[in-house]
Amino acid sequence: MPAQTQMAATPPPSTAGVFPVSAIHRGMHGVAYTVFEGTQPEPMDVEILGLLHNALGPGQDMILARLHGAKPEYTGVVAGMSGSPVYIDGKLAGALAYRIGEFSKEPIAGITPIEQMLQVRDMQKTVPMEMAATSTGAETGPIRPIETPLVFDGFSAAAVELWNKHTPGLGLTAVAGLGGGGGSQHQPEPIIPGSAVSALLVRGDLEISATCTATYVDAKKLLACGHPITQFGPVSLPMTKAEVLATLPSPYNAFKIVNTTDTVGSFTEDRQTAIAGRFGVAARMIPVTLHITGAGTPRELHLEVVDQPQITPSAVMVSVFQGLMESNNYTAETSYRVRSTISMEGYQPVALDEMVAPTELGPANMIAALMVGSDFSRLYDNAARRTPIRSVDVTIEAVPKRLTAELESAVSTTTTMHAGDTVTIEATLRPYHGEVRNVRIPVKLPATLPDGPVRLLISNGAALDRLLQPPQAGGQQLDVSQTIAQLNSQHPNDRLYVTLLAPSAQATVEGRTLPTLPISMANALEPLKQNHKLTLSGESAVPLASVGVDAMLSGEQVLNLMVE
């Protein structure tokens, strides 16, 4: 009698026992379960072809099998099928996990033995979260893990492209819109072996998810995939049920189209032979809120982003990028005023205020997303951080035109003056496609200026920050408080600044800038240069005045004056 006529409609419980890999040999038949459509796993006949010794690493064998049945023979080995449990004589033998060849005419797959997966379930200790992903023994050549697509629900193709560019080492195939989130959708069916399960990176008004299949399920834990998603080791990712809308056959890239549904716990381990989840455990998430105003109806996007070092900064960045595209008011010429607040437990908030406009480097929404992502990364990736990020709140005002201006020239109304005098700086600004603007800035010189030549820097905020926040000596990283202080002291880029370049020493110590130091103090600080805690400069930057220009300003100029 053909093996498939004896297949049970539902998989045995995980308490049915384990079929050891040592007892497996060519010619055996088993049953695998996966969801092709809906939520109910369907059986497939599995013909054992033999063992591939050391295919997954030293002492880690892979079971080679051929799938039989109308559906697997039509669809082939499908992305999202990873983790589909395989039973022999009613006992759990392993999980479908590997694809053999690129364009195979037969549904031949590699099976991860269940003994190797149970090691992940039984792990008591974890390695630090900073652990980088490492490759498995079967990621190159004709044997590859069955793909686990990273589905971007609500994101454009441009957002997915930005993600791929900034997370090249994640090893997941990112796709836009083939599936989605169902936060309000209830799925009454319990998770059983063969059910589709999803891990979320972002949830809320936008969603990023990865879906595979549950292999082993007990009252507290489950195992899925049969291979890593990221292999980050310890993780904290929301674990949800999933509904398969359809399975798309393709000789190039067959995959399941999936909606995520109820959150049931958290994935806590992502290892070489399985990902492990715990029921009823909440994942660590960072609330992100985007307030978008300007032309059109104000909108808000409410998101939660996973708290995972290798993922979070890019997830925040791509979410901001997509939020700025979600409007009929978006155009290639749109500019933005971006005000963001990053709150972290135990520290004062980081408050940032920038004008962002399109340039030859790219559209404003991309520049704004990269800017928010960069500032967030400086805080989030700080090696000294030990407390969680509480929230990220971004308010964005859209302006339907390109607000850029270039400093064309600057002059002083007088070139000879006395200490304490007020001089007027006349600056000429050339806006994008607009009339030239003349700006007058009264500047009071310090009464303590010595006689002789002095220089004034006329510039945007970025040029001033480069003087006041030079790179740390020896490449040392600032601690959290110093990083927050430095971020909060950044100068907005929509103002024109006048800065005195005084002929006196300036020191930068642990992120703090000390201008106009007496020679005696500069000499006293000199020993700090030996352990890279001090940067000394022979010229001090002293901001004197600024004026708003209502545009993202570029350019700088130095004026030479004489004090008598």
The structural domains of the chain, with segments of one domain joined by +, span 3-121, 144-284, 286-399, 405-563
What's the whole-number mean pLDDT along residues 56-61? 85
In this predicted structure, the answer to whether residue 67 has a pLDDT above a threshold of 90 is: yes
What's the whole-number mean pLDDT along residues 320-347? 85
Name the residue with higher pLDDT: 538 or 200.
Answer: 200
Secondary structure of 215-250 in HEC code, one letter for each residue: EEECCCEEEECCCCCCCCEEEEEEEEEEEEEEEECC
- Model confidence at 447, in pLDDT bands (50, 70, 90)? very high
Nearest to 223 by CA among 143, 144, 118: 118
The pLDDT value given to residue 141 = 62
Is-contact 86 59, C-beta < 8 A?
no
Nearest to 265 by CA among 286, 304, 239: 239
What's the whole-number mean pLDDT along residues 491-502? 94
Range with lowest mean pLDDT among 306-310, 337-341, 467-471: 467-471
As its CATH architecture, domain 3-121 has Beta Barrel (2.40)
Two tokens, residue 1: 């009698």
Please provide the average confidence, as pLDDT, over all residues in the chain: 86
Most confidently modeled range among 30-34, 155-159, 164-168, 315-319: 30-34
- Model confidence at 33, in pLDDT bands (50, 70, 90)? very high
The pLDDT value given to residue 173 = 74
What's the whole-number mean pLDDT along residues 11-26? 92
Parallel, antiparallel or unpaired: strands 552-554 and 404-412: parallel
The pLDDT value given to residue 101 = 72
Helical (H) or strand (E) element with 153? strand 150-153
What's the whole-number mean pLDDT along residues 343-349? 92
In this predicted structure, the answer to whether residue 332 has a pLDDT above a threshold of 50 is: yes
In this predicted structure, the answer to whether residue 128 has a pLDDT above a threshold of 60 is: no
The pLDDT value given to residue 105 = 66
What's the whole-number mean pLDDT along residues 363-378? 90
- Model confidence at 130, in pLDDT bands (50, 70, 90)? very low
Tell me the three state secondary structure of residue 558: strand
Range with lowest mean pLDDT among 101-110, 189-198, 282-291, 353-362: 101-110
Q: What is the pTM of this model?
A: 0.85
What Rg do the C-alpha atoms of the chain give, in angstroms? Answer: 30
What's the whole-number mean pLDDT along residues 118-131? 65
What's the whole-number mean pLDDT along residues 51-75? 89
144-284 has the same fold as 3-121: yes
The residue assigned the tokens 């609330």 is 287
Range with lowest mean pLDDT among 46-50, 447-451, 456-460: 447-451
What's the whole-number mean pLDDT along residues 102-111? 79
Tens of pLDDT, residues 253-285: 778 888 999 999 999 999 999 999 999 999 999
As its CATH architecture, domain 144-284 has Beta Barrel (2.40)
How many residues are recorded in the chain?
Answer: 564
Is-contact 369 162, C-beta < 8 A?
yes
Q: Interior CA angle at 99 toward 111 and 194, to 5°?
A: 50
286-399 maps to which CATH number?
Answer: 3.10.20
The pLDDT value given to residue 37 = 94
Dist CA 261 CA 234 (whole Å): 24
Range with lowest mean pLDDT among 27-31, 230-234, 431-435, 510-514: 510-514
In this predicted structure, the answer to whether residue 512 has a pLDDT above a threshold of 80 is: no
In this predicted structure, the answer to whether residue 347 has a pLDDT above a threshold of 80 is: yes
Range with lowest mean pLDDT among 194-203, 346-355, 517-526: 517-526
DSSP 348: P
What's the whole-number mean pLDDT along residues 40-44? 95
Longest dimension (CA), the chain: 108
Dist CA 428 CA 438 (whole Å): 5
Dist CA 46 CA 66 (whole Å): 6
Tell me the three state secondary structure of residue 475: helix
- Per cent of the chain over pLDDT 70 is 84
**Helix 312-325 with 364-380: angle, nearest 10 deg:** 150
